[in-house]
Structure 1
Amino acid sequence: IHLSRNNFTGTIPETISGLDNLELLDFSYNHLHGSIPPSFQSLTFLSRFSVAYNHLTGGIPSGGQFYSFPHSSFEGNLGLCRSINSPCDVMMSKGSSRSHDNNNGKFGRSSIVVLAISLALGITLLLSVILLRLSRKDADDRVNDVDEEAPLSSSSSKIVLFHSCGCKDLTVADLLKSTNSFSQANIIGCGGFGLVYKSNLPDGSKAAVKKLSGDCGQMEREFQAEVEALSRAEHKNLVSLQGYCKHGSDRLLIYSFMETGSLDYWLHESSTALRWEVRLKIAQGAARGLAYLHKVCEPNVIHRDVKSSNILLDDRFEAHLVDFGLARLIRPYDTHVTTDLVGTLGYIPPEYSQSLIATCRGDVYSFGVVLLELVTGSRPVEVCKGKGCRDLVSRVFRMKAEKREAEIIDATIREEDVEEEEVLEVLEIACKCIDHDPRRRPLIEDVVAWLEDFPVESVEEE
C-alpha cells in the first residue's frame, strides 16, 4: 500500500492490522497525528514500513517486524520515540506533570525536577545527534575509500572493466545506447536496490546491467559489496562481474548475460516443468558455487541472500549464483560477521532474528530452502494459502513427522520415470540443511558431496 504524499490528516487506522498478508505500508510525507497502532506488530509479513515526516507521537512498537525497520522509517516525527533507546517514559511523565501543574494552577517542585531532567536529556540527545552524524560521515568516507585490489573509479564517467569482459573501451554512452537509455522494455529483473537491464554491447555480445538506486548509504554499501565479492571470485557457478561504474549519482554493475533466466521463473512461472535430472544438475551447480564462496575464495564470502531468484541459468541449464549486494567478506579464522536482519522472507535463517550474526551455516539454511523448492515445486511462503500451509519449511517438517513426505513431491516429478527413493534422499538432505539449530546443519562441502552421489548427464531443456 503506497499512500505517501497525499496530504492525509487524522490518525492511522488500526484496522489495517487485519491485512494479514501486507508486505509494504508507506504513509510518509502526510499530516497524520496520533500514534502508530500497537496492533501493527501482528503484521508478520510486513517487510517495508514508513511513516516518515508526519506529526506522530508516542512510542514506536518494538515487537513483530518493527525491530528491523531503519530509523529513516520514522524520521520527521518529533514526537515519536523508541523505548529501547529514547526516554519514552520520561517524555510521558513530563506531559502528565505539566497537566497536573495546570490543573492546580501552580508551578510545583516536581515540575522543576522534570524540567531539569528534560533539559539534561535534550542536551544529551543533541550531542548524540552530532556524534551520530560525525560517525555516519566517517562511514561514508570508508565506503568511498579506494579498494586495493579493485579500486573504485574516481571518475564519474569511467567504466572499470575486468579481463572477463570481451568488450574493450566501453563508455557510459555505449551503455546508454545498449540499454535504450535504460528503457523499461529492457528490464529483465529487479533487486532490492535497483533494476537489471538487458544490454546489447557494441561488439555484438549481451550483458546484464544493474542500475542501483534508493537510499544513498545502503546503495553504496550494496555496490561496494558486489564489487568486493565478485572482483575476487571466479568460478563457473558464479555470475561473472565484467565491470562497474560510478556515474554521477548512479552506480552501474555489468554482468555476463544469462539467457535462460532464473530458477524461480522455471519453478514457479514457466508453463514448462523442469525434469528431475535438470533440477539435480541445478542443485549441484548452485552448491558448488556456494562452496567456492565459503571455502576457496579469499577472503571467504557469506552470500546472505541465497534464493531461487538469485540462481540464474545459462543455455545448458548450468546454475550461476548472482546478487552479492548483501554479501559480506569473512576473514580467515573468523566464524561469523555481525549483520542487520536482511534477506528474503522464507529464506532467512531463524537465528538471524535472534543474534544478528551471519554465518556460512545461515547460507546453508537458505540453500536448503532452495532444495525444498526443487523437490516440492512450492514457494517458501505461499501468501494465498491458509495460515497452516503458508510456510514451506514448517509444512515439510509436519508431513515428515506424519510419514507423509512423499505427498509433497512435485506432481510433475511423480509423473516421470524417477525412483521416489532418490527424490526422498534429496529431501532428507534439504531437511538437514534447514535444521533449526545451526550447529546441526552440514557444511556446504558436505552437501556438495551428497548431491554428487546422484550422477547426472549433460542435460539441456527445450
Structure 2
Amino acid sequence: MENNTWHNVKDLIFTFFNTNPLQKCRKNQKGHFILLVFVLFIGFTIEPVLGNLWDGVVVTQSDFQSLRAIKNELIDSKGVLKSWNDSGIGACSGNWIGIKCLKGEVVAIQLPWKSLGGKISEKIGQLQSLRKLSLHDNALVGSIPISLGFLPNLRGVYLFNNKLSGSIPPSIANCPMLQSFDVSHNLLIGKIPFGLANSTRIFRINLSYNSLSGSIPSSFMMSHSLTILSLQFNNLTGPIPSELGAVSRLRVLDLSNNAINGSFPLSFSNMSSLVSLNLENNQIENHVPDTFDMLHNLSAINLKNNKFDGKIPSTIGNISSISQIDLSHNKFSGEIPDSFTKLVNLSSFNVSRNNLSGPVPSLLSKRFNASSFEGNFGLCGYISSKPCPSAPPPHNLPAQSPDESPPKKHHRKLSTKDIILIVAGVLLLILLLLCCFLLCCLVRKRASSSRKSSKAAKAAASARSVEKGGSAGGGEAVSGGEAGGKLVHFDGPFVFTADDLLCATAEIMGKTAYGTAYKATLEDGNQVAVKRLREKTTKGHKEFEAEVASLGKIRHPNLLALRAYYLGPKGEKLLVFDYMSRGSLASFLHARGPEIVVEWPTRMKIAIGITNGLFCLHNQENIVHGNLTSSNILLDEQTNPHITDFGLSRLMTTSANTNIIATAGSLGYNAPELSKTKKPTTKTDVYSLGVILLELLTGKPPGEPTNGMDLPQYVASIVKEEWTNEVFDLELMRDGPTIGDELLNTLKLALHCVDPSPSARPEVKQVLQQLEEIKPELVEVEVDDDGAKVQTNE
C-alpha cells in the first residue's frame, strides 16, 4: 500500500467521525452525498447575506474569519494547513486538518507535532465555543494570548514543548470550565497568576520547565478538584503554602528543582489522596512531621537534596503502598526506622549522604545495594567492610575501698575421692567429644558420597559464601557451592540461594525466541519466573555478565524487573524475574472464556502502561526492544502491564538476534523495513506498539491473517471502505455511543504508528501524550515532560 493512500485512510477516520460516528450505514450513500452538496451550496450562497444563518455543517462566518486570522499569523513551513482554504468549504466536515466543529462552531483546534512556527493570534478569543486548544510540540513563539481568558467553554490548553515567552496571562482565571492547563517546556517568566486554579473543574496544571519566579499562590487551595500539580524546574521561591494541604484530591505534587525554602507543612497530612510527592533539590529545612502515615495512598516520596534534619519519621513505615523512598543528601540523624522493613512493595530506597548512625535493618541491607546507605559515617552492617561492633562487655564491679578488708578465703584440701571423680569426669568428657567427632566424620562422608552420585547442580549441602560488591553489577554474588555455579542477586522482594533455585518446583509457562520460561515455586512458597536462555546463542561469560549487570539496574513500574541471574558449571544461563500472576496480554485477550469481558478502561490502562514502559526504554535506558509482542507483555494482579524480554538482544550473538527478528516477523508484529535492514530501531518498536494497539481495539491476534492480509492492512482496508464500526471488538461496541470518540481517536493513533514509512511514525513520547489527551479523565500513568513517571490510578 502506498504511503499517500495510507494517510488518506487515516484522515478518512476523522471525516467519518465528524459526519456520524459509529453509526454510519452504507445505505443511501449516494442520496446523502447529493443532499450534502446541495446544503453546502445553499449555505455558502445565502450566508454572505444572512450571516447569522448556518446549517450545522458550514462553519459560521465569525469562526471562519477567526481561523483565517489564526492561519495568517502561523508559519506553516510544511504546508500542513493547505486544507484551510479561503472559502471555508469543508471546515466543519473534517476536511480542514485539526479542526472539529459542533453545529458549525469550532470546538477544537488540534495541531500537535506539525512543525508550526509564528504566533498564536489574539483572534482565537473570538471562537466562543472553543473547548480544546492543542498546539504542543511545535516551534511557536510569542506570548500566550490574553484572549484565551474570554473563552467560557475552554476545557483543555495543551501548549507544551514550544518556545512561548512572556508571562501566563491572568485572564486564564476567567475560564470557568478549564480542566487541564499544560504550558510546560517553554520560556515563560513572571509569577504564577493568583487565580489560575479558579475553575472548579481544573484537575491538571503543568507549568514545569520554564523560568517562572515568585512564590506558589495560596489560591490553589480553592481548587478542590485539582489532581496533578507539576511546577518542577522553575525559579520559584518562598515556603510551600500551608493552604495547599486543603486540596484533598491532589494525587501528584512535583515542586522539585526550584529554590523553595521554609519547613515541611504540617497540613500535608490532610492530603489523603496523594500518590506521589517530589520536593527534590530545594532548600526546605527542619524536621519532617510524624503524621506521614496519614498519607495512606502514598507510593513515591522524594525529599532528596534539601536541608531536612532530625530523625526519619518511623510512621513512613506504616504506609503499605509506598514503593519509592529517596531521602538522600539531607541532614537526617538517628537510626533507620525498623518499621521500613514492613514495606513489602518497596522497590527503590536511598538514604545516602546524611548523618545517620546505628545498624541498617538486615532486610533492607539484603534488598538494596550499598549505594543506598553510603555517606553516613555512623551506619554499619550494610557492607562487609563496615560490620557493626559486638555488644560491649559487662561493666566491672566498683573498685574496693581501702577501708574494706578483703574477704577471708577458705581453703579446703581435696580428698582422694574428689580427685578420682574429677579425673573420671574429664575422661568421660574427652570420650564424648571423640564420639561426636567420629559421628560427624561419618555423616560428612556419607553426604559427600551422595552428592557425587547426584546431579552436581542440586547439591544438598552446598557451602555458601557472600561477596558484597563482587559482581559486575554491584549485586550480591552467591557461589553455587560444590556445583561450581554462580548466582548474582540484584534488589528484590526476597533472597534465595542457588540450591533454592535449582531445587524449586518448576512449571513450563512457554517458549520464546530467547529460551524457555518457567514458573518456579521456592521451598518457602515464594514464586519467581525463570527464563533459561537457549544454549550456544549467548555471548561469552565476561561480556554476558557485563550486559546483564546493566539490565539488572533497570527499574520501572511497567518493565519486568530482573532480580537475579545464574551461571551454571556447564554453561547454562538462567534469568530470574518477578512472577506475574495473570500471564501474558496475548492469553488475557485471546485465551479467555466467553463469560470474561475486557472493558475499554482496562484496555486503555494497558495501552498507556505499555507505552509508558517503552518510553522509559527509549528515552532513559537507550534500549530498543526489537521484539515487542503481546506475548512479551505480562500482567500483574491489578492488570498493570510489564514489558519483558527488553535488552535481551544485548546478551545474544548476532546470528541469534537475526533469527529472533525473523520469528517476530512471522507473528505479525515486525515493521516492513526489518525484512531488509535486519536492525531494530525506535521506529520499528513504535510499529509493534501500533500493532498491539490494534490488537486491543479489534480483539484479533496479529499472527492470524484475515482475508490474506496482516492486521494493519486488514484494519486499513475496512476503514477505507467506511465500515469503521466493523473494526472494533464486539465487546467494545456495546458502549459505542459513550466511547465512540475515544475508540476512533485511538484507532487513528494506532494507524499512525503502523505507517509503512518509518519517518511518518510518531515517537513513543508523542504516542503517550496523545493517549493521555484521548482520555484525560483516566490518568493511569502520568508522565511529566522531563520523563519522570508516577502512578496515579483513579
By the TM > 0.5 criterion, same fold?
Answer: yes
Cα distance in 1 for residues equivalent to 2:690 and 2:475: 35
- Percentage identity across paired residues of the two chains: 36
Check 1:226–1:370 CA distance in 2 against 1; reply closer, same or farther (3 A cut): farther
Task: Select which of 653, 674, 692 maps to 1:352.
Answer: 674
- Report whether the alignment pairs 1:392 with 2:711: yes
**8 A Cα contact 2:629 2:669, kept in partner:** yes
Cα distance in 2 for residues equivalent to 1:151 and 1:244: 10
Residue equivalent to 1:305: 627
Residue equivalent to 2:530: 209
**8 A Cα contact 1:190 1:196, kept in partner:** yes
Q: How much is the aligned-residue C-alpha RMSD, in angstroms?
A: 3.0
> Which has the larger helix fraction?
1
The size of the alignment, in residue pairs, is 293
**8 A Cα contact 1:223 1:251, kept in partner:** no
- Higher alpha-carbon deviation: 187-196 or 357-366: 187-196
Residue equivalent to 2:152: none
Residue equivalent to 2:485: 157
Cα distance in 2 for residues equivalent to 1:225 and 1:404: 52
Cα distance in 2 for residues equivalent to 1:220 and 1:436: 39
Residue equivalent to 2:704: 382
Check 1:322–1:229 CA distance in 2 against 1; reply closer, same or farther (3 A cut): farther
Cα distance in 1 for residues equivalent to 2:544 and 2:725: 43
Q: Whose radius of gyration is greater, 1 or 2?
A: 2
Residue equivalent to 2:500: 174
- Report whether the alignment pairs 1:407 with 2:702: no
**Structure 1: segments with no counterpart, 5+ residues:** 1-145, 330-338
Task: Select which of 609, 618, 641 maps to 1:285.
Answer: 609
What's the secondary structure of 2:658's corresponding residue? coil
Check 1:302–1:243 CA distance in 2 against 1; reply closer, same or farther (3 A cut): same
Shift of 1:320: 0.4
1:345-387 Cα offsets, whole Å, 9 max, x none, are 211111111223321111101000000000000111315x542
**8 A Cα contact 1:158 1:172, kept in partner:** yes
What's the secondary structure of 1:452's corresponding residue? helix
Shift of 1:196: 1.3
Shift of 1:203: 4.2
What's the secondary structure of 1:252's corresponding residue? strand
Cα distance in 2 for residues equivalent to 1:379 and 1:222: 37
Cα distance in 2 for residues equivalent to 1:458 and 1:364: 20
Amino acid paired to 1:157: G
Check 1:392–1:420 CA distance in 2 against 1; reply closer, same or farther (3 A cut): same
Residue equivalent to 2:104: none
Check 1:219–1:416 CA distance in 2 against 1; reply closer, same or farther (3 A cut): farther
Cα distance in 1 for residues equivalent to 2:585 and 2:524: 29
What's the secondary structure of 1:210's corresponding residue? strand
Check 1:207–1:226 CA distance in 2 against 1; reply closer, same or farther (3 A cut): farther
Cα distance in 2 for residues equivalent to 1:149 and 1:260: 30
Check 1:376–1:303 CA distance in 2 against 1; reply closer, same or farther (3 A cut): same
Check 1:239–1:222 CA distance in 2 against 1; reply closer, same or farther (3 A cut): farther
Shift of 1:296: 1.4
Amino acid paired to 1:294: H
Residue equivalent to 1:102: none
Shift of 1:219: 9.8
**8 A Cα contact 1:237 1:285, kept in partner:** yes
Check 1:352–1:208 CA distance in 2 against 1; reply closer, same or farther (3 A cut): same
Residue equivalent to 2:209: none
Check 1:409–1:229 CA distance in 2 against 1; reply closer, same or farther (3 A cut): farther
Cα distance in 2 for residues equivalent to 1:394 and 1:273: 26
Task: Select which of 671, 680, 688 maps to 1:366.
Answer: 688
Cα distance in 2 for residues equivalent to 1:219 and 1:317: 37
1:13-412 to 2 correspondences below 5 Å: 148-149=472-473, 156-167=484-495, 170-179=496-505, 182=506, 186-217=507-538, 227=548, 230-247=551-568, 248-271=570-593, 272-297=596-621, 300-324=622-646, 326-328=648-650, 340=658, 342-343=660-661, 344=664, 345=666, 346-383=668-705, 385-387=706-708, 390-412=709-731
Cα distance in 1 for residues equivalent to 2:607 and 2:753: 13
Shift of 1:221: 11
1:230-273 Cα offsets, whole Å, 9 max, x none, are 32311010011110011123111110010111110011111123
Amino acid paired to 1:173: D
**Structure 2: segments with no counterpart, 5+ residues:** 1-469, 652-656, 782-794
Check 1:434–1:229 CA distance in 2 against 1; reply closer, same or farther (3 A cut): farther
Q: TM-score, normalised by structure 1?
A: 0.58
Cα distance in 1 for residues equivalent to 2:541 and 2:724: 44
**8 A Cα contact 1:212 1:223, kept in partner:** no
Shift of 1:404: 1.9
Check 1:360–1:215 CA distance in 2 against 1; reply closer, same or farther (3 A cut): same
Looking at both structures, which has the greater relative contact order when contacts are Cα pairs under 8 Å and sequence separation is at least 6?
1
1:120-169 Cα offsets, whole Å, 9 max, x none, are xxxxxxxxxxxxxxxxxxxxxxxxxx9954689797422101112422xx
Cα distance in 1 for residues equivalent to 2:747 and 2:615: 20
Check 1:197–1:217 CA distance in 2 against 1; reply closer, same or farther (3 A cut): closer
**8 A Cα contact 2:513 2:660, kept in partner:** no
Task: Select which of 435, 451, 455 maps to 2:771.
Answer: 451
Cα distance in 1 for residues equivalent to 2:523 and 2:732: 43
Residue equivalent to 1:134: none
- Higher alpha-carbon deviation: 234-243 or 341-350: 341-350
Residue equivalent to 2:756: 436
**8 A Cα contact 1:222 1:325, kept in partner:** no
